[in-house]
A and B are shown apart, each in its own frame.
Chain A
Amino acid sequence: MPRLERRPQPSARWTWLAPPLAVLVTMVAGGALFAALGENPFEAIRTIFWDPLFGEFAFYYRPQLLVKAAPLILIAIGLSLGFRAGIWNIGAEGQYIIGAITGAGAGLAFYPMEGWFIFPIMIVAGALGGFVWGMIPAILRARFGTNEILVSLMLVYVAEQLLAKMALGLLRNPEGRGFPGSRNLQHYPSAHNAELVANTGIHWGVVAALIAVIFAYVLLTRHLLGYQIKLAGQAPRAARFAGVNPARLVLICLGLSGALAGLAGMFEVAGPAGQITIDFNVGYGFTAIIVAFLGRLHPVGILLAGLLMALTYIGGEAASSTMQLPMAAIQIFQGMLLFFLLAVDVLTNYRVRARKTEVAP
């Protein structure tokens, strides 16, 4: 029997090797799953991972990739800061919804006026909306010691109800013949988050995601706040000894991740989605949690993980439409990715040893 031995320090090599290995193992296990469903595993894997990028219809899928990855990355970057500090914002989905409502609301308030200033105002409103929604669990935790996991998660359902209320009430398109849903922002040039370069999928949300990646990277490697975030997560007692104020960190992390999630919602509603509808949210806020961990809570890792996750979404949809694979199988496939990553992760902190040797005291 081989046994696990704790490494004196985490292996730098395995920190970077684990995610690709997890992807590989997922392909093997996923392939077995598809084979068990009676499909050709190689074809299925190719449809998911290869065709969207290099296949016949790649011209259609590639822009989709960026459109899907941008909100995931934007949200995951914000979440990763909190996760590193041991602050668990599970409610990004709710912050994303509120950001979309406030962003779209701010834009629609000006309708039908045109002006260059409308879109920037929407950006600020979207970020502010998410920020405020994130501050609810933050203040409750900092002030009363409530559990931010529960509060932020429950606020997702509150946000969903609010979304329905808005789609049916305040924000409903007055010219929509009674159908639920707001005016389509794609038809309102000043508020439209349009493609910046035609047929690339690049819109302002993609730009914002890239800026967020760079911002987080600099914050975590060079700035005092990033250091305090890491310290608080790894050794809370040492953080207090150093003089880090835990309550302040809670406010900053939840506020920041809320604002980024709100931004993502705003870019989505003003661009790819176009309007506030009852089922506007599709779970980006939850998937971003997987993206954050898949990317090792590291900004560059999150960038890659976001793209990979977007690829499995798009490839999965392609596979379900062309190969009639059930959507549930695709979801299992995505779940496997996180599962195997966590499993392979053991190798970062432990090494496999043959029997016999004992751990030095």
Chain B
Amino acid sequence: MSTTLLSISGLTKAYPGVKANDDVSFEVAAGEVHALLGENGAGKSTLVKMIYGLVKPDSGTMTLRGAPFAPSEPRAARAAGVAMVFQHFSLFDAMSVAENIALGMERPPRLRDLATRIRDVSEQYGLPLDPGRRVGDLSAGERQRVEIIRCLLQDPKLLIMDEPTSVLTPQEVEILFATLRKLTAEGVSILYISHKLEEIRALCDRATILRQGRKVASCAPATTTARVMAERMVGGAFQTPTRATRATGDIALDIRDLSLPPASAFGTALKNVSLAVRQGEILGIGGVAGNGQDELLAALSGERRSPDDALRLFGTPIGRLGPEARRKRGLLCAPEERLGHAASPDMSLTENAFLTAKDRERLTTRGFIGWRAARGFAEKIISSFDVRTPGPDTAARALSGGNLQKFVIGREMLQRPEVFVVNQPTWGVDAAAAAAIRQALLDLTAKGAAVICISQDLDELMEISDRFAALNEGRLSDIRPAQALSVEEIGLMMGGAQDMEVAHAPA
């Protein structure tokens, strides 16, 4: 590579009890895509937050284009030519694309001029986007384009992207990569955070791998295997889930022609969803976030009621039953949102164990709670699912996302579900724990349970599913055997009947 754009040497940042970054040094060359790899908690976020001026390093220095660089706030970083696309978008649903972009600017031009510029930039980089559309109506991929264009309007020299593909369909990923390649051709550098290794191999020129806050390796992804990179990330050999050959049994859960209106203005309606899962199989449901995943889970958990015949559990209609009655019959669910939905943040793990387990684990007698038994159950979850916490009296919100996820998944799995529905089982969980959760799902089916796994991680779905379907705008695609599917077919299933605006990406 030619010249160095950003050089980082000896960056260290400690928080009470943990060194988030320990003496990290590396360089980003002009016009390269540089990957930052590592498990959750490896220190990637802290590192880019320091570059973007959100966090101040304890020691160490940075230089940008040869000049010392120590941004005190994001505004200073932006002025120096550093832009960042966050994993979670900060957009207002009720406002238009142009209004949203104007909100992030220090001196926004008139909306009409801004709209013209947005159109220009979006055409130049092959990111189709109508500035007048309301953000609430956009898909996740289109929302990300809003954030990218917001950055591009600042004419950045370095673009930081945090897990940009986690919400995209394979086709949208291709569009994004085309845009990024175009940017690097113009000399812009990209710092690319991800833990999707194949993606990094396809896109990135160099990779820096972090583990427990330290830089442990750097490599050229194109010539390094994904397995080697993964092992460097976790610092050891790596357990891939294994599936036992198993026979599928009777139909456990049968959904027939389920339609539900949206619960809120920005919710998704479920439209004529039909599916059947058998004992001993995993049905994977893919799709971009916001296409009815939450709604489907709510309809299955009983938070939203359906016509009685629309849902059948082992042949018995359950559509009108509430969550407790469904749990008693063996239908258990784990929603995506851990804090506030699957668990109550301020309650202890013992109280949270009681949340869904009171009937199946017999934790009450005549309405009185057996706290000792509940605590015992919480301890069982903690030990069987390797939840890292001081103990069952800890408040749920004190746990890291991954640990709480293990707790929530473990809580349902240890209740021996007949049918288990899970949304985003490994979201935010590190690679080793994710493998353990996937293995637990496979083990569950080996014991004869039926599993519906809703996820946005296609690799995960392909790894564990027997059959696959995708949700698009509340409609479920045809269900197909997972092993025979190609990435293109999956992408088309996720795109649904009416495809999103096709990009005219330059060759």
Contact = CB atoms under 8 A, between A and B. Distances in A.
B88 interface: no
A231 B18 contact: no
Contacts of B346: 9-10, 234-235
B347 A234 contact: yes
A235 B345 contact: yes
B327 interface: yes
B497 interface: no
B368 A245 contact: no
A223 interface: yes
B480 to A, nearest CB: 31
Contacts of B397: 8-9
Given A235-B344, A360-B16, A241 B55 contact: no
A227 B351 contact: yes
Interface in B274-312: 301-303
Nearest to B322: A243
A231 B344 contact: yes
A46 interface: no
A331 to B, nearest CB: 34
Interface stretch (B77-85, B335-343, B451-459): B335-343
Contact of A241 (B45, B323, B351): B323
B46 interface: yes
B347 A241 contact: no
Given A234-B344, A237-B341, A242-B356, A225 B367 contact: yes
A231 B347 contact: yes
Contacts of B119: none
The 9 residue pairs across chains A and B that have the minimum distance between CB atoms = A243-B324, A243-B323, A360-B15, A9-B395, A235-B344, A8-B398, A238-B344, A237-B341, A224-B367
Contacts of B371: 222
Interface string A307-318: 000000000000
Interface string B334-376: 0101001111111100010011101000001001110100000
B347 A242 contact: no
B49 interface: yes
Contacts of A241: 301, 303, 323, 333, 335, 341-342, 355-356
A358 B53 CA distance: 13
B394 interface: yes
A242 B347 CA distance: 14
Nearest to B13: A358
A176 B46 CA distance: 80
Interface in A189-247: 222-225, 227, 230-231, 234-235, 237-243, 245
Contacts of A237: 337, 340-341
B322 A245 contact: yes
A360 B322 contact: no
B56 A358 contact: yes
By CB atoms of chain A within 10 A, which of B46, B302, B341 has the most? Answer: B341
A358 B49 CA distance: 12
Contacts of A9: 346, 394-395, 397-398
B159 interface: no
Instruction: Give chain A's interface secondary structure class.
Output: helix
Interface residues of B, number: 42
Interface in B35-52: 45-46, 49
A243 B49 contact: no
Contact of B395 (A8, A238, A361): A8
A238 B355 CA distance: 8
B135 interface: no
Nearest to A238: B344
A324 interface: no
A227 B394 CA distance: 17
Given A361-B45, A361-B46, A242 B355 contact: yes
B160 interface: no
A322 interface: no
Contact of B302 (A8, A224, A243): A243
Contacts of B303: 240-241
B476 interface: no
Contacts of B335: 241
Nearest to A10: B346
Contacts of A224: 358, 364, 367-369
B20 interface: yes
Contacts of B324: 242-243
Nearest to A227: B369
Contact of A361 (B49, B56, B345, B354): B49
Contacts of A223: 367-369
Nearest to A349: B346
A9 B371 CA distance: 21
A231 B355 contact: yes
Nearest to A235: B344
Given A243-B327, A360-B16, A234 B345 contact: yes
A238 B394 CA distance: 18
Contacts of A10: 346, 395
Contacts of B342: 238, 241
Given A231-B344, A243-B323, 19 more contacts: A8-B395, A8-B397, A8-B398, A9-B394, A10-B346, A10-B395, A222-B371, A224-B369, A235-B340, A235-B341, A235-B345, A235-B346, A237-B340, A242-B356, A358-B15, A358-B56, A360-B16, A360-B18, A361-B46
Given A9-B394, A237-B341, A357 B45 contact: no
A60 to B, nearest CB: 44
Given A8-B395, A238-B341, A230 B368 contact: no
21 contacts: A8-B395, A8-B398, A9-B394, A9-B398, A10-B346, A222-B369, A223-B369, A227-B354, A231-B344, A234-B344, A235-B341, A235-B345, A237-B340, A238-B343, A238-B355, A241-B323, A242-B324, A243-B325, A243-B327, A245-B322, A358-B56
